[in-house]
Amino acid sequence: MEKVKLYDTTLRDGMQGPGMTLSAEEKVRVVHALDGLGIDFIEAGFPSSNPKEQQLFDLLAGEKLENSEVVAFGMTRRKGVEPGDDEALKILATSFSPWVALVGKTWRLHLEKVTKVDPDENLAMIRDSISWMVEQGKELHYDAEHFFDAWRDDPAYALACLGAAIEGGASIISLCDTNGSSLPDQVAEATAAVVAELGDAVEWGIHTHNDAECGVANALAAVGEGVRVVQGTINGYGERCGNANLVSIIPALELKMGFETIGPDRLQTLSGVAQEVADLVNLPVDPSQPYVGDNAFAHKGGLHVAGVSEDARTFEHLEPDAVGNTRSVLPSELSGKATIKSRAGELGLELDEAAVGRAIDELKEREHHGYHYEAARGSFDLLLRRAGGEYEPLFTLEGFRVTTEMRDDGSVETEATLRIWVEGERHLTVAEGNGPVNALDRALRAALVEHYPRLADVELTGYRVRILDSDHGTGAGTRVLLDSAEGGQSWSTTGVSRNIIEASWEALVDSLEVAFQGRGGGDG
């Protein structure tokens, strides 16, 4: 298999995305995650840009990496300044990293409107900067900024800029779609022309952005025309609409195009690395992100579930474990027998055809009335247990009352009074809370933990309300979703009613019954 090298710029280009920030220590953790994944080049940033970046390079100088080369990033020399007198270049030259990436202008529009540099001077800036850096003992990666815009505007000058980089001694030159303006056929045509004109004087790379939703497609199109170094970021982070997403590019190259990148063993860690980096930048992984998102191998329609149960190839383009992901079956009004049987099997329930039919009927009827079992797998599991005759209620409700009082001093007090029967014993409990749900939870547990001590360890971790028919104003129906956790496991439950207290009570009771039935989670 022919090798395609991977160049990650999450720590530089990715950090230009809205809301993106990491401490120097957190960036070191990202570097180790990328190194473990097998990324060839990690662009750590511009050491002369700010104290944090300088601190990062100081830290990385003492780190040992197994697979990756750290790259220091900077720009070509300033206009009218010799490379040896340019302070930014001198800082790059003293960096511990043997690799330096320089970016330079290619598009005449930028020369005219931004840098105010003569085209011939720009060529000299590219050539001189690279040549001087090579003399300092550095390997050079050159980014031809706005290359594809330049190619469409003036292909002869765009080629001249690449030629200047080759003359300077660059080892790798990346063609950059900096504005994300290009389409795959445009990238393929321009890349093919470059390779045909300049040949293998250097290794060719590609750097694409996602402004036209083509970042990944453009990168793959360039590989198809001879590029063998691909730049991108984890989860597609980056300014505006983001950079090409390495998390999608890697399996496409490895599993679909027949290139070697990180190898099958490391590929199985891809979902974990995507999640780890997302956790560090405090952003969720898009559930619909290809390959690694929660929905990437999720099946909802009954026909789809039946097909996957028979042969996963019917509705999946690859095995989820190849990229470290898992298959999931989502219950809904679209569900058929395969959905019910799949989940029942996971729970260890043996449902006959009559029980499966009852479960399907109840599921569809409840979804029609506003329940959403896709987001409440705990309540769905209870539905299956009821259909199979393996459901045992925690208690029998006699009644409850919740009162909320606003006092003269502005404080609000909520109290719940609960009457239930547990194992033949009547309990009357009263509890205060910081709201009706909290008060009911406390009153219910006060009665139950005497009989079922493990329920004391169940924690409510989330509470969400959805209005189902907003045209009814404050009298609208509501759907409540509760998230619960116990001992590292988690689950979600739901309730629906025109009375928000009743809906909350239903979800609360389900939450405790999931734990009582001996299944504390794993369904999110």
* 3-state SS string for 397-433: EEEEEEEEEECCCCCEEEEEEEEEEECCEEEEEEEEE
Does the structure show a pLDDT above 80 at 406?
yes
Which pLDDT score is estimated for 299?
67
pLDDT band at 190 (very low <50, low <70, confident <90, very high): very high
Q: In the predicted model, what is the mean pLDDT of residues 338-347?
A: 76
pLDDT band at 357 (very low <50, low <70, confident <90, very high): confident
Structure-token pair, residue 249: 């590019």
Distance, CA of 408 to CA of 439 (rounded, Å): 21
Structure-token pair, residue 437: 């749900």
Q: Read off φ and ψ for residue 350, nearest 5 degrees.
A: -105, 105
Does the structure show a pLDDT above 80 at 111?
yes
Which residues is 270 bridged to in the sheet?
none
Which pLDDT score is estimated for 332?
55
Which pLDDT score is estimated for 394?
87
Q: In the predicted model, what is the mean pLDDT of residues 403-416?
A: 88
When mean pLDDT is compared across 147-161, 181-195, 504-518, the lowest value belongs to 504-518
Number of CB atoms found within 10 A of residue 8's CB: 30
When mean pLDDT is compared across 298-302, 421-425, 490-494, 504-508, the lowest value belongs to 298-302
Instruction: Give the best-scoring range by mean pLDDT among 401-410, 422-431, 450-459.
Output: 422-431
Does the structure show a pLDDT above 70 at 353?
yes
Does the structure show a pLDDT above 90 at 69?
yes
- Furthest-apart CA pair in the chain: how many Å? 93
Residue in the block written with tokens 């779609």: 177
Percent of the chain with pLDDT over 90: 58
Does the structure show a pLDDT above 80 at 404?
yes
Given a contact cutoff of 8 angstroms between Cβ atoms, the answer to whether 332 and 362 are in contact is: no
Distance, CA of 2 to CA of 480 (rounded, Å): 53
Does the structure show a pLDDT above 80 at 354?
yes
- Full set of structural domains in the chain with CATH: 5-262 (3.20.20.70), 395-451 (3.30.160)
Given a contact cutoff of 8 angstroms between Cβ atoms, the answer to whether 63 and 35 are in contact is: no
Distance, CA of 402 to CA of 506 (rounded, Å): 15
Q: Is the dihedral of CA 120, 126, 130, 132 positive or negative?
A: positive
Which pLDDT score is estimated for 476?
57
Closest CA to 233 of 214, 254, 247: 247
Given a contact cutoff of 8 angstroms between Cβ atoms, the answer to whether 11 and 240 are in contact is: no
Distance, CA of 478 to CA of 370 (rounded, Å): 8
When mean pLDDT is compared across 85-89, 161-165, 298-302, 440-444, the lowest value belongs to 298-302
pLDDT band at 308 (very low <50, low <70, confident <90, very high): low
Residues sharing a CB contact under 8 Å with residue 492, sequence separation 6 or more, in sequence order: 375, 376, 377, 378, 379, 462, 481, 482, 483, 484, 523, 524
Residues sharing a CB contact under 8 Å with residue 195, sequence separation 6 or more, in sequence order: 204, 225, 226
pLDDT band at 226 (very low <50, low <70, confident <90, very high): very high
pLDDT digits (tens, 9 = 90+) for 461-506: 888 888 876 555 555 578 899 898 887 788 889 999 988 899 999 9
Distance, CA of 332 to CA of 349 (rounded, Å): 19
Residue in the block written with tokens 């750290």: 70
Structure-token pair, residue 174: 């990346």
Whole-angstrom CA distances from 317 to 255, 291, 323 are 10, 10, 12
- Using left for φ > 0, alpha for ψ between -120 and 50, and beta otherwise, residue 258 falls in left
Which pLDDT score is estimated for 362?
83
Residue in the block written with tokens 């050539």: 127
Does the structure show a pLDDT above 90 at 271?
yes
Q: In the predicted model, what is the mean pLDDT of residues 315-342?
A: 73
pLDDT digits (tens, 9 = 90+) for 162-185: 999 999 999 999 999 999 999 999
Does the structure show a pLDDT above 50 at 62?
yes
Which pLDDT score is estimated for 521?
36
Distance, CA of 218 to CA of 16 (rounded, Å): 21
Q: Read off φ and ψ for residue 333, nearest 5 degrees.
A: -65, -15
Decide which of 46 and 154 is more confident: 154
